[in-house]
Amino acid sequence: MPARFEPGDADIRWVGVDDDTPPGHCIAIGKDSLGNAWLWLFTGDTPSADAFVGSIEIPAQITKTPSAYGRFGGWAGLAHNTRQTLEQLAEADDGAHSSAGSA
C-alpha cells in the first residue's frame, strides 16, 4: 500500500525539520515506487519503518487537496493545513512508538 512508508520503495529527496514539524519528529519528502510524491512523518531524527508515524500525499495537480494517512496506511483526512495535519498525525500516534519495546 503506497500510503505506508516502505523504505525499499521510497526515493527520499529531503530529510529534516522545519517550522511545521512537531517536536520530537522529523519529516522526509520523496516519491514512492509508483511516482507519487509524499511528505512522511517520523518520530526521532531518522526515517525508518519503525519510526514512521504517517504521511501526506502531495497531489500532482496544484488544485487538488492533499490527503493524510496514518501509520498503517488508513486514510486520516484531508490535509488543508500541513502543520495542523502533522500535529494530528503525531498526536494520534502518541505513545505507539514509546510502548513498542516495553514489556
Q: Report the predicted TM-score, pTM, of the whole model to 2 decimal places.
A: 0.87
Residue 43, Cβ neighbours under 10 Å: how many?
20
* DSSP 8-state secondary structure symbol assigned to residue 59: -
pLDDT value, residue 46: 95
pLDDT value, residue 51: 96
Strand spans (E) along the chain: 11-16, 25-31, 37-43, 52-58, 67-69, 75-78
Residue 11, Cβ neighbours under 10 Å: how many?
11
pLDDT value, residue 99: 44
pLDDT along the chain (103 residues), means of 10: 79 97 97 94 96 95 94 91 96 68 38
Backbone angles phi, psi at 16, to 5 degrees: 170, -160
